[in-house]
Structure 1
């Protein structure tokens, strides 16, 4: 009886276990009968990336294309030739090509902009074909009958041109006409003997908000003066009573080598370039004298300028703490740095030579690694020894570019430094530095890349006389001012 009862319990347990196994099998099969068999192949997840093949053509050997690819997830990559971008996210990509110039020929891409759709596991393609044509530059006169126009500038985005006349007036050119009333007239306060006069102007980076601008001129005592003014409620008139002197630098004995420029750097500080005080060969030794502000590139902070404290010294100035050294100095060893400019984190500083060489110095801008550079004058004139008795180049920074005057100044006598082109009218010339020479009035350019000077080009413009200065408008286009009283805009020639 007990055995029979135990056998019955065992049979019930086996039956329940069998039912559970069957239920689990049906659950695993998702219901239904039959033998589920072995699991089938697992379907892989769809590919999340693809490829984009860019093909460029039409350029001479050794000439790089200029292609930028942008796409999903803030993707951006610059290409210099044909290349396949692999394992990139699926989606829409933009391929933008820029013109390039080599050997005096401008190569234009077609298409300039195109889209490519990258699909999962597939390769999309885009082709950029360059076509070449000789690029020619022409000058168009935008103003005339000015009195020794020394400088041209404008606030960013402003269609007006502010042109300085050496006797002390700032004129506005608007809609190709010179306004009758000057923006500012300081003619009673400006010394114009020798190389003196009203020499340059810089708008404050916050001009749209504060109305400040700065001028560089020589006063009746022959001092170099950097002074701040404000615009009046009338945008075409400055307030002549708003002046605040920032710097006043004595310049006795000679009436040449006043330097001449004031400009804001990318670091927001105000830079000023001063000449060595004049006379042949720097007889006062100012270029190498750290106790003198002459023959220097200066850097000061005017962001909180006020009466009694017109500037402070940036903490990264190289001679901030040192007996007998002027803390305003950023660079030394300059003869007559008439013009300098900033571009893409670099400083282009031209220095007028004595008898043989004209030079352009290129260095990092607003970087402590470039602080305290000594450009060599009067030990060196360019890369030549000037003072042969003590021609020690130790610690000197030699120019990135120079040219010799040649016999009877056949190549020039005084460099007129300019700007790196960043306008939109001639995009194929982006990055090229333009310069001229007072004696020869040419228009030339070069490209500085990786420490090398390439693409040197004479643009063979018709003679326009003595070139005093370059200028840059609110859109980044370039201009020339001449001793004849004319202002010319640099543009594309209709015929090669």
Structure 2
């Protein structure tokens, strides 16, 4: 199949075949979750906690022998084996990973022939050593590497076993502007402005190399975003000589393109020889149909649309010329597509962004073909919307259309879902845990929440809508409720240099010196308080009503908000933070500033903790929430009880 495909709608699309899933061996039995505010699941389904205590987990892979490898954003790979999260990581490549914004270690796969082939594959944004100390938000590049496990201890990678499979030329020489993101000159271009062989660009803080997974033929599939927000650079998604904005299909031993690929040109090392599908902006999660090799893609949306695509070899989904059913403004030459000379494949399903209910970031999931879920779910495709914290599933109709059903709500921060014969696994970057959903009893028929087939639509993603990126622009916050004489205690340590929270927590001042106490009437630290200080605010949040809450934080220089599932500080997880400075009460500069929806019960006490580091004097710290049915408000002292040591 070539790029000369007609852009066709659902009526012209061949009927979708039932999608299969390779069943894999399950890990040790998990314990049921006993936290307040768990996933809201259909009757008969239960949520089980597999592993918690992870730091910003982004991806996971279940090995055939049952162990689970879990990637953390900063660059560590954790191992869950025999019911235990091991203290020592499989590997720590944080020194090579740029994790600014939505960058980081985002994809992991285990060789399907494990442990005979003891290989683990990682996809991450690479920080070349020559520019490692330059602006972290500046342009970088991405890589896919293969690691070999130690035959004497499969929970550890052999030292120096890493082999770069994709991105051998993702090096400092081909980074366009390491001091400024989304700016020219663009990366991975030669002196003639043509794409460099085997180089993945990443000017933006998102749309990176996202996922690695295997197909039924043993090929390694790699999902790569367009790497940029600047619209002058995103036309490379349509250029088959660029690796950006593509689904790649390569040999897992060599990283070379396969002869059966649609654009193979006789040279397995050429970029186009590695391309399976193109015209994508941010294919954050993919899965491969093991029966026919079709790739199911969750595309994180742009300004209006989210989409689920099904790609056959050579499929072109048209970004940046199309968004949803509409033509999109673009610096690309879209005339061949709009004239019909070249065309793009419409998505299988697409939906629009909404504020109520919150929808706007499609996280691709997986196919369920086991036998333990009720019949309606068998052959269904599960996917997640990050902004809404909701998981839906698509069923496939005989006429080639699809029906969208709501499956579960109150699932905050899901960044990957994987199905097995009897379970659906969900990884939450917000909760810092991996969870398992199983069916244990009779269930009612699920509601078709959006049952109208929309197979003619197209979707593409925008800045601020990545995984971990709630996108509705908040209105300026006002204080939430009267303080009623209550005060919040803020602990302040002075003369602490730098702007990094981790460095602040390691300083002698924080460890040894008694802090100064400042009393607040809301979760906002007084501006103009000086330079070089750190703050910790602890207490118990007491919601006034039951329902879904969302939390927001702004800070200059850095701030982080943690929340526990109960009153126990040991159960706290980071739910929102600022990866860099923000203006006061601006909550949408970075996706990490906002949490997903979190179910809280009225009158219950939930431990929270705010850490804040100020460096250069342009200080601000504001913590807000969005209560059920309300707007964004700075949290007042009337909803906070003091922390008891």
Change (3 A) 1:301 1:449: farther
What is the CA–CA distance in structure 2 between the aligned matches of 1:149 and 1:229, rounded to whole Å?
19
> By how many angstroms is 1:436 displaced?
0.4
Whether the 8 Å contact between 1:202 and 1:213 is mirrored in structure 2 is yes
1:135 CA displacement: 4.9
Report the 3-state secondary structure (helix = DSSP H, G, I; strand = E; otherwise coil) of the residue aligned with 1:159: coil
2:351 paired residue among 396, 403, 406 = 403
**Structure 2 Cα separation of the partners of residues 282 and 476 of structure 1:** 46
CA 1:446/1:490 → structure 2, altered by over 3 Å: closer, same or farther? same
TM-score (norm: length of structure 2):
0.50
Mapping 1:423-434, distance limit 5 Å = 423-426=370-373, 428=375, 429-434=377-382
Which deviates more, 388-397 or 180-189? Answer: 388-397
Q: Separation in 1 of the partners of 2:44 and 2:97? A: 40
1:178 pairs with one of 85, 96, 105: 85
1:152, CA displacement in angstroms? 1.8
Q: CA deviation at 1:291?
A: 1.9
Choose the corresponding residue for 2:299, options 317, 336, 351. 351
For 1:176 and 1:155, locate their aligned partners in 2 and report how far apart those are by CA, in whole Å.
14
> Any stretches of 5+ residues in structure 2 without a counterpart?
1-41, 129-139, 168-198, 444-645
Q: Which of 315, 323, 326 matches 1:381?
A: 323
Which ranges in structure 1 are unaligned for 5 or more consecutive residues? 1-133, 364-369
Higher relative contact order (CA 8 A, sep 6+): 2
Partner of 1:202: 109
Q: Secondary structure at the match of 1:318?
A: coil
Match of 1:161 among 68, 89, 108: 68
Q: Distance in 2 between matches of 1:385 and 1:466?
A: 31
Match of 1:262 in 2: 212
Moved more, 269-278 or 331-340: 269-278
2:160 corresponds in structure 1 to 241
Number of equivalenced pairs: 347
Max Rg structure: 1
Mapped contact 1:280–1:354 kept (Cα < 8 A): no
1:225 corresponds to which residue? Answer: 143
Give 1:427 deviation, angstroms.
5.4
Give the corresponding residue for 2:58. Answer: 150
1:465 to 412, 421, 432: 412
CA distance 1:252–1:350, shift in 2 (3 Å):
closer
CA distance in 1, matches of 2:107, 2:116: 22
Residue correspondence of structure 1 range 30-49 to structure 2 within 5 A: none
Q: CA deviation at 1:185?
A: 1.7
Structure 2 residue 203 is matched with structure 1 residue 253: yes
Aligned equivalent of 1:491: 438
Q: Could you tell me how far apart the structure 1 residues matched to 2:440 and 2:276 are? A: 40
Q: Tell me which residue corresponds to 1:53.
A: none
Residue 245 of structure 1 and its aligned partner are, at CA, apart by 0.5
Secondary structure, aligned partner of 2:412? coil
Cα separation, partners in 2 of 1:476 and 1:261, compared to 1, 3 Å: farther
1:320 aligns with 2:228: no
TM-score (norm 1): 0.65
Structure 2 distance, partners of 1:486, 1:213, is 21
Write the distance in 1 (CA, Å) between the matches of 2:387 and 2:46: 20
Q: How does 1:16-95 map to 2 (within 5 A)?
A: none
Is the Cα–Cα contact under 8 Å of residues 447 and 455 in structure 1 kept in the other structure?
A: yes
Partner of 2:279: 333
Deviation at 1:278, TM superposition (A): 1.4
- Any conservation in 2 of the 1:151–1:471 contact (CA below 8 Å)? no
Query: Counterpart of 2:45?
Result: 137
Secondary structure at 2:115 match in 1: helix
Which of residues 340, 355, 361 in structure 1 aligns to 2:309? 361
Q: 1:322, 1:333 → 2: CA distance?
A: 23
